[in-house]
């Protein structure tokens, strides 16, 4: 959706729906080796949705493997009402949440995932004298690191929505279905997540821009 | 300007997702034409989303795919064996 320029072309090329259906039917019928082909387009999606939730490479990789194994074992239960990708990401979300809950009880963290945070500040950062940031800034490696850091800092309920919508580029309906929440909540949380990111990152966008007096101005509030 | 900035901010996400109804969209676009503050917020948010969707922002660990398929292969073989029963 927000993809642009050649460098950002998707590397995953999901098979056509028909091909996928055919693969699934054949795997269930016994050609189990085709499972490798079936999941190949979604390896990245599964890993990243878990990684961004767990914030730990090692655990994310293990969890991603578990998700794929679970998908293999439960493939017969896939009814084809949802897209296969949505079904898969739902398993991934559940696995990530399960592990998060486990970690949380271990840490005695008092984060209530289901409670909507009404106290939060979801207003964007105001920048004066803003000019379109040159693409070189966005191309910088540090900027990508800053973004990953900012995403990590989002509370889980916002992070999961943002990741599915803006990183995995699932649509609202698919996101709602994978997260087990309604579309309205997806919209509300996505908006808040985006505003929180904007607030966290705007200073860096400004800081990495060429130094020029008053170029990005000061932030207030 | 009939719309207040704060009101525009509430709709930035929908604006980016092109989900605004035509009337509100028109009001917001008119506001954006005259308001640098809101234009800056919109631009910066849009840039952040471009960066989020950029495949280079998140990279897979080296060998991830190989390890995944190797583990799957084991599981697939195990299932085949159990279905074929003891030889
Ligand atoms: Zn304004």
∠ at Cα B48 (B23, B50), nearest 5°? 85
If one compares A125 and B67, the residue with the highest pLDDT of the two is B67
- Best A144, A160, A161, A196 member to test B by mutation, with max B CBs in 10 Å, is A144
Q: Report yes or no on A141 lying in a domain.
A: yes
Mean pLDDT of the A55-78 span: 96
What is the DSSP-derived secondary structure letter of residue A12? -
Domain that holds residue B21: 5-84
Detail the DSSP E strand segments found in chain A.
Answer: 126-127, 219-220
Hey, is the C-beta of B64 within 8 angstroms of any chain A C-beta?
A: yes
CATH number of the domain encompassing residue A66? 1.10.1740.10
CB pairs under 8 A between A and B: 149
Q: How many structural domains are present in chain B?
A: 1
Whether the Cβ atoms of residue A34 and residue A20 lie closer than 8 Å to each other: no
How would residue A130 be classed by pLDDT, with cut points 50, 70 and 90?
Answer: low
Average pLDDT over residues B57-76: 96
Question: B-chain residues within 8 Å CB-CB of A73?
Answer: 75, 79
Give phi and psi for A126, each to the nearest 5.
-90, 125
Containing structural domain, residue A198: 113-219
Look up the ipTM and state it. 0.91
Whether A60 maps to a domain, the answer reads yes
Do A70 and A151 lie in a common domain?
no
Q: Please give the DSSP secondary-structure letter assigned to residue A7.
A: G
Q: Is A8 domain-assigned?
A: no
- A3: pLDDT confidence band, cut at 50, 70 and 90? very low
Residue A220 pLDDT class (50, 70, 90 cuts): very low
Nearest to B47 among A124, A125, A205 (CB): A205
d(CA A102, CA A92): 15
At residue A41, the 3 state secondary structure works out as helix
CB B11 within 8 A of CB A98: no
Chosen domain end from A41, A75, A103: A103
Question: Is position A189 within any domain?
Answer: yes
Of the given ranges (A34-38, A107-111, A124-128, B67-71), which has the lowest mean pLDDT?
A: A107-111
Count of residues in chain B: 87
CA B43 – CA B12 distance, rounded (Å): 10
pLDDT digits (tens, 9 = 90+) for B35-55: 999 999 999 999 999 999 999
* CA-to-CA separations, A20 to A34, A40, A69, A220, B5, in angstroms, rounded: 10, 11, 18, 52, 47
DSSP codes, A169-206: ---HHHHHHHHTS-HHHHHHHHHHHHHHHHHHHHHHHH
pLDDT above 60: residue A110: no
Specify if A11 maps to a domain. Answer: no
Mean pLDDT of B13-42: 95
Clarify whether residues A60 and A94 are in a common domain.
yes
The contacts of residue A164 (CB under 8 Å, 6+ apart) are A49, A89, A93, A170, A174, A175, A178, A179
Are B75 and B68 within 8 A, CB to CB? no
Residue A71 belongs to a domain: yes
**In this structure, are A208 and A153 located in the same domain?**
yes
Q: Alpha-carbon distance A104 to B77, whole Å? A: 35
> Is the sign of the CA dihedral A53, A54, A57, A63 positive or negative?
negative
CATH of the domain at A128: 1.10.10.10
* B78 to chain A, closest Cα gap in Å: 11
pTM for the complete prediction?
Answer: 0.84
Query: Which percentage of chain A shows pLDDT scores above 90?
Result: 62
Q: Do A73 and A160 have their domain in common?
A: no
> A128 in helix, strand or coil?
coil
Final residue belonging to a domain, choices A85, A103, A121 = A103
Answer yes or no: do A127 and A214 share one domain.
yes
The pLDDT value given to residue A9: 42
Q: How many domains does chain A have?
A: 2
> Over chain B, what is the mean pLDDT?
92
Has residue A92 got a pLDDT over 90? yes
Are A173 and A94 found together in one domain?
no
The CA distance from A44 to A87, in Å, is 15
pLDDT of residue A208: 46
CA separation for the pair A174, A183 (Å, rounded): 9
Locate A92 and state its tokens: 């991934």
Q: For residues B46 and B58, what is the distance between their CA atoms, to the nearest angstrom?
A: 18
What the block records as the tokens of A21 is 């259906």
Task: Give me ligand 1 centre to Cα B16, in Å.
Answer: 16
Residue A103 has pLDDT above 70, yes or no: yes
Chain A residue whose CA is closest to B48: A198
pLDDT score of A117: 57
- Region A2-24: mean pLDDT is 65
Residues A96 and A135 occupy one common structural domain: no
State yes or no: pLDDT of A214 exceeds 50: no
The Cα–Cα gap between B37 and B7 comes to 13
B59 contact A CB<8A: no
- Per residue in A172-200, pLDDT (tens digit) is 999 999 999 999 999 999 999 999 999 99
Residue A183 lies in a domain: yes
- How far A105 CA lies from chain B's nearest CA (Å)? 28
Distance A183 CA to ligand 1 centre (A): 27
Instruction: Note the pLDDT tens digit of each residue in A132-181.
Output: 666 667 778 889 999 999 999 999 999 999 999 999 999 999 999 999 99
- Within this chain, do residues A176 and A122 fall inside the same structural domain, yes or no? yes
């Amino acid at each position: 959706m927000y993809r642009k320029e050649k460098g950002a072309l998707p590397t995953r090329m999901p098979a056509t729906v028909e091909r996928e259906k055919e693969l699934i039917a054949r795997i269930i019928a016994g050609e189990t080796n085709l499972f490798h082909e079936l999941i190949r387009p979604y390896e990245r999606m599964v890993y990243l949705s878990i990684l961004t939730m767990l914030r730990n490479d090692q655990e994310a990789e293990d969890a991603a493997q578990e998700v794929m194994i679970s998908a293999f074992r439960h493939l017969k239960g896939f009814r084809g009402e949802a897209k296969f990708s949505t079904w898969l990401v739902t398993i991934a979300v559940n696995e990530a949440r399960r592990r998060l809950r486990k970690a949380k009880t271990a840490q005695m963290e008092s984060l209530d995932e289901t409670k909507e945070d009404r106290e939060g500040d979801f207003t964007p950062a105001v920048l004066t004298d803003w000019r379109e940031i040159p693409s070189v800034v966005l191309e910088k490696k540090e900027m990508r690191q800053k973004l990953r850091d900012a995403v990590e800092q989002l509370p889980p309920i916002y992070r999961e929505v943002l990741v599915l919508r803006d990183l995995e580029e699932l649509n609202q309906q698919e996101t709602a279905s994978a997260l087990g929440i309604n579309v309205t909540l997806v919209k509300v949380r996505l908006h808040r997540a985006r505003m929180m990111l904007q607030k966290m990152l705007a200073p860096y966008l400004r800081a990495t821009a060429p130094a020029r007096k008053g170029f990005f101005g000061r932030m207030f509030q | 300007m009939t719309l207040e900035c704060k009101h525009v901010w509430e709709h930035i996400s929908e604006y980016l997702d092109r989900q605004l109804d035509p009337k509100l969209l028109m009001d917001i676009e008119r506001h954006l034409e005259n308001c640098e503050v809101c234009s800056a917020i919109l631009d910066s948010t849009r840039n952040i989303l471009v960066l989020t969707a950029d495949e280079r922002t998140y990279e897979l660990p080296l060998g991830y795919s190989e390890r995944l398929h190797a583990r799957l292969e084991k599981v697939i073989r195990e299932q085949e064996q159990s279905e074929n029963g003891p030889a």
